Amino acid sequence: MAKRSKVIELEIPLNGEPASNSLPKAQTGISGLDEISGGGLPRGRTTIVCGGPGCGKTMLGMEFLIRGAQEFNEPGVLIAFEETPQEIERNVASLGFSIKNLVDRKKLFLDFVYVEPSEIQETGDYDLEGLFIRLQHAVDTVGAKRICLDTLEALFSGFSNERVLRAELRRLFRWLKDRNLTTVITAEKGEKTLTRHGLEEYVSDCVILLDHRVREQISTRRLRIVKYRGTSHGADEYPFLIDDTGISVLPVTSLEMHHEVSSERVPTGIADLDEMLGGKGFYRGSSILISGTAGSGKTTMSASFAEAACRRGERCLYVGFEESVHQVARNMTSVGLDLTRWVEEGTLVHEAWRPSQYGIEMHLLRIHKLIEAVKPQHVIIDPITNLVTGSAQKEVYSMLMRLMDYLKGRKITAIFTNLTTDSEELEQTDIGISSLTDTWILCRDLELNGERNRCVYILKSRGMAHSNQVREFVMSRDGIRLVPPYVGAGVVLTGSSRVAQEAKEKADALVRSQEIEKKQEALERKRSVLDAQIKVLKLDFSAEELELERMIKQQQSREKQLNLERDAMNRIRSGAAEKKIDSASAKSAGDSK
């Protein structure tokens, strides 16, 4: 049978919803139990709740009955073999239930079955018809739909004839089934078997195992559905706790992973950090982990996020495990963050308690309850590391995983801070949870030149272009700034070294610019000298040009004059010459003759 139900577990996705063809269920009303059992206990069938002493068996049975009567209008019967009705009444009253009222209204019937073996002498054949008559009477009185037998095994101590007893038990389970009673039977856990007397042989519909462990003086209760015939159920161990509102079971691993995601961005409260996160900040509903050594500014960073959220009118829940509420508020005023104002206005709910105060699931539950009550848009847990002091690391991881899933499912932005002790191990210790977070911011200290400076960088941020720069985290009365550090010559300088370096650079730059100016002036001078020279040369040239032109003109006019004179000469010569020519011609003629 167990085999078959295992196969079913694998085939059916664990979505917490009862499949349409599955068994009819009776809701327990116990928070978390209905979720992991796929809707409650098998209706009209018997469930065995087993576990060691003090594990909460009776409480589970009682709450099943009380909630059945109060919330689902299913009257119930409690057959108590170990405690008197008065004792039970007192026990459940401490958990906030009043059964007197239910008994008066005939919603609940209590019958105390007292088995004292020393008073009983067996003298022959008998059966347990008396028990059946009492059961029938109880069921008839209130018209019961539910019944709890706590602890049926007490019969084994009362009656020595096991043959008769087992036959009667078989008859009892059939009897319960025939009357369609949803039954819870509590049983002590056996050494090798689930129950000491092997009751699971008779009932195989549903077996729930409770466990109560104490580790390092802090107790943890766990619940596991060992078997649930015909139903897919969470097979893990689920921590549960019993507090003033009864039992709360917390599913360790989320049954589903399809939360709707938001692409809306939420400012971080630090403008420089927004800028590093793609200019807009975190995604709404994402999980953010801020890791860092002591005093590296984790709380300040979370507080400024909270303050900014409150300023926008969004509700914020701040759970502190390190400092008291007032201490955080006082400290944050030193960086200009006034948390008290928002607490007074009710936008910020600030709670603080010691991590060692409870076991891990109690923390988770308290946070859950706060979230349910406050309905915040943002949750800050500062720091999660301190929870480890109370529990084993594995449990913390599984708790955080559940918390993150829960918050994501509700689109609540969650900031977890994490104190790391040694910078070497910084990234190792966080591995378990870092994979769950969407954005991981690391704050670390740099010790250099006799001072310690805070540095911040974003190790990862899913789904956004984020800066890979290491920034210096500077806190002042005016708030927080993330200053780009001096990066050059293979060193990162922060703090006063950065300031000195920056001053030096400034001076150097000044000198350089002055030199440039000087050179430019020289150039300018040279240019004007050149210009002057060119001017002089031009002047010289034009003077020479004029002179030369004048000389050319002179010579030309002289030439002209000469020509004129020659012409005049010629003319003059030609008058005399005519005669001369005549005479000459005559002479020549005569000569020629």
Partner 1 sequence: MKKKVRTNGKSAMAGQPAMKLRLYVAGQTPKSMAALSNLKRICNQHLDGKYELEVIDLIKNPQLAQGDQILAIPTLVRNLPVPIRKIIGDLSNVDRVLVGLDLRGSDRESPKDSPSSAKSIGAGH
Q: Which chain residues interact with partner 1 by CB under 8 A?
A: 111-116, 118-131, 133-134, 136-137, 155, 158-159
Q: From the CB of 104, what's the least distance to partner 1, in Å?
A: 17
Q: From the CB of 122, what's the least distance to partner 1, in Å?
A: 5
Q: Which tokens go with 20? A: 């349409």
Contact 293, 280 (CB under 8 A): no
Q: Which tokens go with 127? A: 């059966």
Nearer to partner 1, 148 or 252 (CB): 148
Single out the residue of 157, 204, 165, 158 nearest to residue 185, CA to CA: 204
Nearer to partner 1, 122 or 515 (CB): 122
Nearer to partner 1, 168 or 205 (CB): 168
Q: From the CB of 121, what's the least distance to partner 1, in Å?
A: 3
DSSP helix/strand/coil, 196: coil
| Cα–Cα distance for residue pair 453/192, rounded to 1 Å | 59
Nearer to partner 1, 179 or 460 (CB): 179
Nearer to partner 1, 159 or 353 (CB): 159
Contact 446, 452 (CB under 8 A): yes
Residue whose token pair is 């196969």: 7
Amino acid at 508: D
Q: From the CB of 85, what's the least distance to partner 1, in Å?
A: 11
Nearer to partner 1, 115 or 370 (CB): 115
Q: Which tokens go with 454? A: 């805070």
Q: From the CB of 168, what's the least distance to partner 1, in Å?
A: 9
Other C-beta atoms closer than 10 Å to the C-beta of 89 total 16
Dihedral angle sign, alpha carbons of residues 269, 273, 276, 282: negative
Nearer to partner 1, 113 or 458 (CB): 113
Which residues partner with 488 through β-bridges? 491
Q: Which tokens go with 369? A: 């309850």
Amino acid at 391: S
Q: From the CB of 115, what's the least distance to partner 1, in Å?
A: 7
**Phi/psi of residue 182, each to 5°?**
-80, 115
For the chain, how far is it from start to end, CA to CA, in angstroms? 174
| Cα–Cα distance for residue pair 248/362, rounded to 1 Å | 10
Q: From the CB of 251, what's the least distance to partner 1, in Å?
A: 40
**Phi/psi of residue 391, each to 5°?**
-145, 170
Q: From the CB of 24, what's the least distance to partner 1, in Å?
A: 30
Q: From the CB of 138, what's the least distance to partner 1, in Å?
A: 9
Amino acid at 412: I
Nearer to partner 1, 26 or 110 (CB): 110
Q: Which tokens go with 188? A: 């002590």
Nearer to partner 1, 108 or 308 (CB): 108
Contact 247, 38 (CB under 8 A): no
